[in-house]
Amino acid sequence: MHTITQRQLKEMPTRYRAQLINSLSGFKSASLIGTVSHEGNTNLAIFSSVVHLGANPALVGFITRPDSVERHTLTNILQTHHYTINHISQHIWQAAHQTSARYPSNVSEFDETGLTPEFKHANLAPFVKESELKYSLKLVEVLPINANNTQMVIGEITRIITEEHAIQADGYIDIEKLNTVTVSGLDSYHSTSRLSRLAYAKPNIDPLKIELCGTTD
């Protein structure tokens, strides 16, 4: 096994280190965040840092970078307090990646990538029409992370829109059936194959004899 020390990390070329460190957190969610400015300009941006915070209240967080360059997503959320998170499927992953290009704030990534803004249920922020699992959120808090000048944006889920056939009897949404992709590192996209769902773990059960709950159909 190969070892990389903290000193070696600090002396690495910037881009090499960025690729390396971004690989360490494992497979990541792939989401498009939809917002709109006060002036009505829509914005769509890909994020791989969406993280579950809790189910009651239903809270989700994501990480934004320092304010050294324009961050249209954060600016719009601070203006309107509303945004959407849309799963990226195998049908739209290349267009979704393209939203990471640096467009000016008056250019909509919807127009540039061919994805369709969808205003539903009087929601202020646009959903992505092509996404098969999406939800709207209301801003709760922007938490500063002083260690590296990033921020965690925390929102409460106000509405969920998905294909009904993907919701299983216990509430689990089969995101693999919806062809949601996953990301590793900065730019690698992956489809998935379910190994299994596992039963709730209890101390007295031999891990080698765990009962597998087949849940795919």
Q: Which of residues 94-133 bind its own copies (CB under 8 A)?
A: 94-95, 97-103, 107, 112-114, 121, 132-133
Contact positions with its own copies (CB under 8 A) in 185-214 = 185-203, 205, 207-208, 210
Q: Three-class SS of residue 24?
A: helix
**Cβ contacts of 200 within 8 Å, gap of 6 or more:** none
Indicate the residue among 75 and 150 with the shorter CB distance to its own copies. Answer: 150
Query: 75 vs 162, which CB is nearer to its own copies?
Result: 162
Six token digits for residue 99: 């939203």
Position 11 contacts its own copies (CB under 8 A): no
Radius of gyration of the chain (CA): 19
Nearer to its own copies, 38 or 57 (CB): 57
Q: Is 29 in the site for its own copies (CB under 8 A)?
A: yes
Q: Which stretch binds its own copies (CB under 8 A): 34-42, 75-83, 164-172?
A: 164-172
Check binding of 140 to its own copies (CB under 8 A): yes
Torsion of CA 131, 136, 141, 147, to 10 degrees: -10
Q: Which is nearer to its own copies, 26 or 40 (CB)?
A: 26
Residue 173 neighbours by CB distance under 10 Å: 16
Pairing of β 82-87 and β 31-36? antiparallel
